[in-house]
Amino acid sequence: MPPRLLARLERELARGAGLVAILDYDGTLTPIVPSPRAAVLAPSVRTTLLRLAASDRARLAILSGRALADVRARVAIDNVIYGGCHGLEIQGRGLAFRHPRVRAARIVAARRTLAAGAEAIPGSRVEFKGLAVSLHYRRVALSRRRAVRDLATRVLRRVPDLALISGREVFDFVPRVRWSKGEAARWIARRAGRTLRRGRPVVVYAGDDATDEAAFAALKGRALTVRVGDGPSVAEYRVRDVRAMQAVLRRLAVALG
């Protein structure tokens, strides 16, 4: 665990500040596993999250590229603010947001094109997330990956105003609305912070991939940003892995009392 990060968090919380913790899910709260369906929250992590969610000094948000209903079902804790589809949709603890410029019909059109194309690519899977749609290709033979990229290109050409987010063996098609995890995290920090009524809260954001880098950049100077794992990062702090992140969260729960 990085001693600088802990010292700073404990110092700020000791003076009575509130906490807004915004956490990514995959690779931050659960280790990366071969199938995204197998990314289950460990009971010990759930216990820590329960403590954070139950504290009247804290607001806990989980912000993921997964569909809102999916991330909510995986965490399954009340009093948590959930953000799905990279923050295009946010719900929980009295907050609700749905990006107003998302044209649902375009996502449906993208799904249709993807589904038709995926039929010819064994192992591919299309996942409809409401405000986004994903093409999973983990089970597609390496020799057929070219067809996956061609299909992605075709969708972007056919459906206007879509952006592509490249994840771990998945392509996420999202509306091009200038709203990333960065804007979503700022929205959550502001709204959730207000409900704490304790002055300026300590905001922590932790994540492990490129979409979280957007949030680290957007939160510069406003939050303690934590990169989980290696790779280049603009985050202020780094923890080695999911276990180290768990340890930080446990210390936070203790510091909140």
- Active-site residues, by number, are 24
To Mg ion, the closest distance from the beta carbon of 30 in angstroms equals: 9
C-beta closer to Mg ion: residue 13 or 223: 223
C-beta closer to Mg ion: residue 118 or 237: 237
Which range, of 118-126, 129-137, 139-147, 207-215, touches Mg ion by CB under 5 A? Answer: 207-215
According to DSSP, the residues that pair with 206 across neighbouring strands are 23, 226
**145-158 and 104-118 helices, crossing angle to 10°:** 150
Among 70, 89, 172, 208, binds Mg ion (CB under 5 A): 208
Q: Closest residue to Mg ion, Cβ-based?
A: 27
C-beta closer to Mg ion: residue 172 or 209: 209
Q: Which residues make Cβ contacts (< 8 Å) with residue 148, sequence separation at least 6?
A: 121, 124, 135, 137, 140, 171
- By CB under 5 A, the residues from 20 to 49 that bind Mg ion are 24, 26-27
Q: Among 167, 187, 163, 191, which Cα is nearest to 177's?
A: 163
70 lines the binding site for Mg ion (CB under 5 A)? no
Which range, of 12-20, 95-103, 169-177, 206-214, touches Mg ion by CB under 5 A? Answer: 206-214
* Residue linked to tokens 């953000």: 83
Work out the angle at residue 25's Cα, subtended by the Cα atoms of residues 22 and 28, and round it to the nearest 5 degrees. 85
For the chain, the 3-state helix, strand and coil shares in percent, each to the nearest 5, are: 45, 25, 35
- Distance CA(241)–CA(197), nearest Å, equals 33
Strands 19-23 and 202-207: parallel
Which range, of 16-24, 74-82, 104-112, 195-203, touches Mg ion by CB under 5 A? Answer: 16-24
To Mg ion, the closest distance from the beta carbon of 228 in angstroms equals: 8
To Mg ion, the closest distance from the beta carbon of 212 in angstroms equals: 6
To Mg ion, the closest distance from the beta carbon of 26 in angstroms equals: 4
Six token digits for residue 119: 């039929």
Q: Which residues contribute to the site for Mg ion (CB under 5 A)?
A: 24, 26-27, 208-209
